[in-house]
């Protein structure tokens, strides 16, 4: 039977303590034991199903983790207080002094800063490569390489990683392939394509209401146990634990993710096609002009589409700022970082979310000043949105007035 990530969430069955249709929230940091022996066994990791202390695990966090593991098709998962709170322990669990990482050069700014500026303190070095060039990826691997790191769809350039190809390279060189799937939940299932570890910032599409930060690591039981190990687990010891109340609210939002992703994708594809036809430099994986359109297509769970992220290049930062301010004034969305909200969000990555990346490196990877990143919202009437956006583009001089459609 085909892998159906949304069904896998739906098929979970958790009851609340009193038969509630939502699982009970465990509002406790610590747990009683009926016998001292069980407490000892739990510390030793030998008492399955017993909770010890909520930094280690809690029922609410396990419910959310199991739902996300079902979505990604992994054995289990561990939720965390933020996406960075998922990424950093994974790197530190897999790498120690003198180890090496091969990473895509187009990744989330915070991840880039962590790999570039922070882990060298522990003698962990990273080579940043063009992830779409498998030959270059393999050539960057050294005897000390432990991790191959990428995003399925990269931030902000929307490059697409060939996860099957990368997984073959990882297996050949005994590396762990770690994939951040934040931009393409449901659409792409990295673990099914061969990734060892799948990470999400739950802050974005998965929670979808821009009211919290959160993260998750999906992987094998063995790896998640390692992360949670009370003696040497990076998640346990660094302590970026999600709160139980939050875990329960993210779980509720997760249930509508498949409906939201279809709408984000539908609106994204509509706008991308219209923008491209208007002559704007548009990047969207669903466009045939996208260099990895066919690759995305070959990996995707078709129903959920090409996602809600697109970029246009309007030439200069000044024009980008002018356009974004006008679009906000016209209530087409918000000038804000982040993604996955019901409203469209737009920002200029070069001066915001990717500002951790030095300017010369931004240019080398094709991140230009006039780039605007859109997270397309759930707009019910996307044609109306498009027509108002187009009027804004004409007003600021990004499009010629001749393009104006009067109706």
Residues at the contact surface with ligand PLP, assessed by CB under 6 A: 82-84, 108, 110-111, 151, 155, 180, 182-183, 201, 203-204, 213, 215
Query: In terms of CB distance, is 99 or 151 closer to ligand PLP?
Result: 151
Residue with tokens 């679009």: 327
Q: Please name the residues in contact with 407: beta carbons below 8 A apart, sequence gap of 6 or more.
A: 387
CB of 88 to ligand PLP, least distance (A): 9
125 beta partners: 100
Nearer to ligand PLP, 185 or 286 (CB): 185
CB closer to ligand PLP out of 203 and 248: 203
CB 250 → ligand PLP: shortest distance, Å? 11
- Both tokens of 259, joined, read 């409906």
Three-state SS for 373? strand
**Minimum distance from CB of 315 to ligand PLP (Å)?**
25
Nearer to ligand PLP, 42 or 353 (CB): 353
Q: How far apart are CA 90 and CA 226, in angstroms?
A: 10
We find the least distance from the C-beta atom of residue 231 to ligand PLP, in angstroms, to be 26
Least distance to ligand PLP from the beta carbon of 150, Å? 10
What is the smallest separation between the CB atom of 23 and ligand PLP, expressed in angstroms?
A: 23
Under 8 Å between Cβ of 165 and 134 = yes
**In the complex with ligand PLP, which residue's Cβ is closer, 173 or 343?**
343
**Coil, strand or helix: which one is 216?**
strand
Q: Which CB sits closer to ligand PLP, 108 or 128?
A: 108
For the bound state, the minimum distance from the C-beta of residue 353 to ligand PLP, rounded and expressed in Å, comes to 8
d(CA 168, CA 14): 37
Strand pairing of 100-104 and 125-129? Answer: parallel
CA-to-CA separations, 25 to 20, 68, 190, 281, in angstroms, rounded: 11, 17, 30, 48
Tally Cβ neighbours within 10 Å of residue 61: 26
CA 85 to chain centre: 13
Which residue is at the shortest CB distance from ligand PLP? 83
Within 10 A of 351 (CB to CB), how many other CB atoms are there? 14
State the minimum distance, in angstroms, from the CB of residue 24 to ligand PLP. Answer: 26
Nearer to ligand PLP, 180 or 196 (CB): 180
Task: Dihedral sign for Cα 343, 281, 301, 130, please.
Answer: negative
> In the complex with ligand PLP, which residue's Cβ is closer, 5 or 215?
215
Rounded Cα–Cα distance for residues 245 and 25 (Å): 7
> Toward ligand PLP, which CB reaches closer, 108 or 386?
108
- The continuous run of DSSP H or E covering 135 comes out as helix 134-139
Q: Residue 181: which of 311, 68, 266, 60 has the closest Cα?
A: 68
Helix, coil or strand: residue 283: strand
- Cβ count within 10 A of residue 102: 27
What's the closest the beta carbon of residue 40 comes to ligand PLP, in angstroms? 36
């Amino acid at each position: 039977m085909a892998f159906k990530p949304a069904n896998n969430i739906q098929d979970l069955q958790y009851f609340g303590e009193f038969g509630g249709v939502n699982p009970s929230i465990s509002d406790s940091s610590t747990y009683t034991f009926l016998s001292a022996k069980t407490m000892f066994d739990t510390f030793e990791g030998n008492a399955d199903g017993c909770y010890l202390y909520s930094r280690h695990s809690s029922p609410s966090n396990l419910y959310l983790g199991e739902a996300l593991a079902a979505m990604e098709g992994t054995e289990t998962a561990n939720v965390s207080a933020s996406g960075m709170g998922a990424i950093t322990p994974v790197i530190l669990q897999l790498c120690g002094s003198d180890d090496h990482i091969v990473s895509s050069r187009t990744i989330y700014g915070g991840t880039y800063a962590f790999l570039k500026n922070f882990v060298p303190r522990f003698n962990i070095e990273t080579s940043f490569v063009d992830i779409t060039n498998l030959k270059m990826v393999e050539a960057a691997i050294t005897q000390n390489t432990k991790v191959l790191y990428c995003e399925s769809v990269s931030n902000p350039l929307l490059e697409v990683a060939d996860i099957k190809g990368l997984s073959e390279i990882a297996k050949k060189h005994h590396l762990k392939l770690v994939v951040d799937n934040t931009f393409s939940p449901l659409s792409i299932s990295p673990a099914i394509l061969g990734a060892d570890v799948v990470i999400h910032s739950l802050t974005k599409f998965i929670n979808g209401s821009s009211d919290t930060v959160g993260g998750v690591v999906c992987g094998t039981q063995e790896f998640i146990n390692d992360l949670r190990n009370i003696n040497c687990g990076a998640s346990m010891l660094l302590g970026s634990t999600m709160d139980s109340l939050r875990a329960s609210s993210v779980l509720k939002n997760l249930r509508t993710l498949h409906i939201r992703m279809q709408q984000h994708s539908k609106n994204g594809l509509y706008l991308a096609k219209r923008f491209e036809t208007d002559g704007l430099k548009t990047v969207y994986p669903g466009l045939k002009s996208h260099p990895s359109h066919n690759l995305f297509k070959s990996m995707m769970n078709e129903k959920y589409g090409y996602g809600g992220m697109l970029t246009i290049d309007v030439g200069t930062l000044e024009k980008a700022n002018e356009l974004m301010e006008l679009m906000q004034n016209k209530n087409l969305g918000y000038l804000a970082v982040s993604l996955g909200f019901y409203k469209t969000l737009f920002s200029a990555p070069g001066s915001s979310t990717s500002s951790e990346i030095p300017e010369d490196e931004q240019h080398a990877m094709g991140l230009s000043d006039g780039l605007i990143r859109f997270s397309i919202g759930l707009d019910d009437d996307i044609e109306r949105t498009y027509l108002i956006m187009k009027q804004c583009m004409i007003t600021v001089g990004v499009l010629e007035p001749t393009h104006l459609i009067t109706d």
